[in-house]
A and B are shown apart, each in its own frame.
Chain A
Amino acid sequence: MIVDRRMPHVIHELADRINRHLGAIGSTVRRIDSPVVRNDQLPQSSRNVIVLGDESALLDSVQNIIQQSQRSVVLASHKNRNAISATWLVPESHFMETWSDARAHDGTASVVQPMISPLYKSMSAVEVLSALMNDAESGYDSVRKTWTMNDAEWETVLANGVIPNTAFEQTSESEAEPAGIDRPSEGYNRPAVPRSDETIVELQFLPDPSVWDGRFANNGWLQELPKPLTHVVWDNPAWIAPADAANLKLQNGDLARLSAGKRAIEIPVWIVPGHAQGCVTLFHGYGLGHAGRVARETGFDVGPLLGSQRATITNLHHSAKIVTTQHHQAMSGRHLARSGSLNAYLDHPAHPEFAHPASPLPEANLHPAWSDDGHKWGMTIDLTACVGCSACVLACQAENNIPVVGKTQCDMNRHMHWIRVDTYYKGSADLPDQTLHQPVPCMHCELAPCEVVCPVAATSHSDEGLNQMVYNRCIGTRYCSNNCPYKVRRFNFHDYSNDFVDTPVMELLSNPEVSLRSRGVMEKCTYCVQRIENARIARSIEGDTLRDGDIRTACQSVCPSAAIRFGDLNDPKSEVAIAAKHPLNYSLLEEINTKPRTTYLAEVNNRIS
Chain B
Amino acid sequence: MSGKLLPHDATYESVTSAVTGMTLRRKTHRGWWFGFFLGLMLLNILLISIGWLFAFGVGVWGINIPVAWGLAIVNFVWWIGIGHAGTLISAILLLLHQDWRSSINRFAEAMTLFAVACAGLYPLLHLGRPQLFYYMIPYPATTGMWPQFRSPLIWDFFAVGTYATVSLVFWYLGMIPDLATMRDRCKKRWQARVYGLLALGWRNSAVHWMHYKRTYLILAGIATPLVVSVHTTVSWDFAVSIVPGWHSTIFPPYFVGGAIFCGFAMVLVIAIPLRWYYDLKDLVTEKHLDNMAKIMLASGLTVSYGYLMDAWAAWYNNEPFDSYIYSNRFDGPYAYCFWALILCNCLIPQALWFPTIRTHTIALFSIAIIVNIGMWLERFIIVSLSLHRDHMPTTWAMYYPTLWDWLLFAGTFGLFITLMLLFVRWLPSVSMHEMRELVHASRETAK
Please give the residue numbers on chain A whose beta carbons come within 8 Å of chain B beta carbons, in ascending order.
Answer: 326-334, 336, 360, 409, 412-414, 420, 422-424, 440, 449, 452-457, 473-479, 481-483, 485-487, 489-495, 518-522, 589, 591-592
Contact = CB atoms under 8 A, between A and B. Distances in A.
22 contacts: A326-B394, A326-B395, A327-B396, A327-B397, A333-B320, A412-B64, A413-B66, A452-B148, A452-B150, A453-B151, A454-B151, A455-B147, A455-B153, A455-B157, A475-B128, A476-B128, A481-B65, A482-B68, A483-B241, A486-B392, A519-B129, A591-B319
Interface string B218-251: 0000000000000000000100111100000000
Nearest to A414: B64
A440 B395 CA distance: 11
Contacts of B68: 478-479, 481-482, 491
Nearest to A330: B393
Given A457-B147, A475-B133, A422 B64 contact: no
A476 B392 CA distance: 23
Given A491-B128, A520-B57, A455 B387 contact: no
A94 B394 CA distance: 37
A336 B392 contact: yes
B153 A453 contact: yes
Contact of A457 (B57, B145, B240): B145
Given A333-B320, A475-B136, A520-B128, A456 B147 contact: yes
Given A330-B393, A414-B64, A482 B243 contact: yes
Contact of A491 (B65, B130, B320): B65
A455 B148 contact: yes
A456 B57 contact: no
B197 interface: no
Contact of A453 (B65, B152, B157, B392): B152
Nearest to A449: B242
Interface in B99-154: 126-130, 132-133, 135-136, 145-148, 150-154
Interface in B378-402: 387, 390-398
Contacts of A493: 57-59, 63-64
A487 B392 contact: yes
A449 B135 contact: no
A589 B394 CA distance: 13
Contact of A449 (B127, B133, B241, B397): B241
Given A489-B65, A493-B57, A592-B391, 9 more contacts: A331-B393, A332-B393, A333-B320, A336-B394, A414-B65, A454-B148, A455-B148, A477-B127, A487-B390
A487 B242 CA distance: 12
A191 B398 CA distance: 43
A482 B387 contact: yes
B32 interface: no
A488 to B, nearest CB: 9
Nearest to A335: B320
B447 to A, nearest CB: 60
Contacts of A331: 393
Contacts of B151: 452-455, 479
B34 interface: no
Given A455-B136, A478-B68, A491-B65, A423 B153 contact: no
Nearest to A592: B242
Nearest to A486: B392
Nearest to A421: B394
Interface centre among B63, B240, B395, by most A CB within 10 Å? Answer: B395
B391 A486 contact: yes
Given A455-B157, A493-B57, A478 B129 contact: no
A474 B131 CA distance: 11
Interface of B: 56-59, 62-69, 126-130, 132-133, 135-136, 145-148, 150-154, 157, 237, 240-243, 319-321, 324, 387, 390-398
B64 A475 contact: no
Nearest to B400: A412
Given A457-B145, A489-B65, A494 B56 contact: yes
Contacts of B57: 492-495, 519-520
A453 B236 CA distance: 11
Contacts of B394: 326, 328-329, 336, 420, 422-424, 440
The 3 A-B pairs of least Cβ separation, nearest first, read A476-B128, A520-B128, A493-B59
Contact of A483 (B127, B243, B392): B243
Q: Is the interface of B mostly helix, strand, loop or mixed?
A: loop
Nearest to A422: B394
Contacts of A326: 394-395
A521 B128 CA distance: 6
Nearest to B134: A475
Nearest to B323: A333
Given A414-B64, A456-B135, A487-B66, A328 B390 contact: no
A607 B154 CA distance: 52
**Residue among A454, A476, A519 with max Cβ neighbours from chain B (10 Å):** A476
Contact of A328 (B56, B58, B396): B396
Contact of B135 (A329, A330, A360, A473): A473
A453 B65 CA distance: 17
B148 A485 contact: no
Contacts of A330: 393
A521 B131 CA distance: 12
B382 to A, nearest CB: 12
Given A494-B56, A520-B57, A474 B128 contact: yes
Contacts of A495: 57
Contact of A485 (B319, B324, B391): B391
B59 A414 contact: yes
Contacts of B396: 327-328
A409 B65 CA distance: 11
A420 B394 CA distance: 10
A538 to B, nearest CB: 30
A462 to B, nearest CB: 16
Contacts of B387: 482
Contacts of A455: 135-136, 147-148, 151, 153-154, 157
B128 A453 contact: no
Q: Which of A456, A474, A520 has the most CB of B within 10 A?
A: A456
Contacts of A413: 64-67, 397
Nearest to A591: B319
A242 B94 CA distance: 67
Contacts of A490: 65
Contacts of B241: 449, 453, 479, 482-483
B148 A589 contact: no
A427 to B, nearest CB: 16
Nearest to B143: A473
A334 B320 contact: yes
Contacts of A485: 242, 390-392
B62 A412 contact: yes
A383 B94 CA distance: 66
A27 B322 CA distance: 57
Contacts of B242: 449, 483, 485, 592
Nearest to A438: B394
Contacts of B153: 453, 455, 477, 479
B392 A422 contact: yes
Contacts of A478: 63, 68-69, 128
Nearest to B154: A455
Contacts of B398: 327
Contacts of B127: 475-477, 520
Contacts of A476: 58, 127-129
Contacts of A457: 145-148
Contacts of B67: 413
Nearest to A337: B394
A492 B57 CA distance: 9
Contacts of A334: 320-321, 391-393
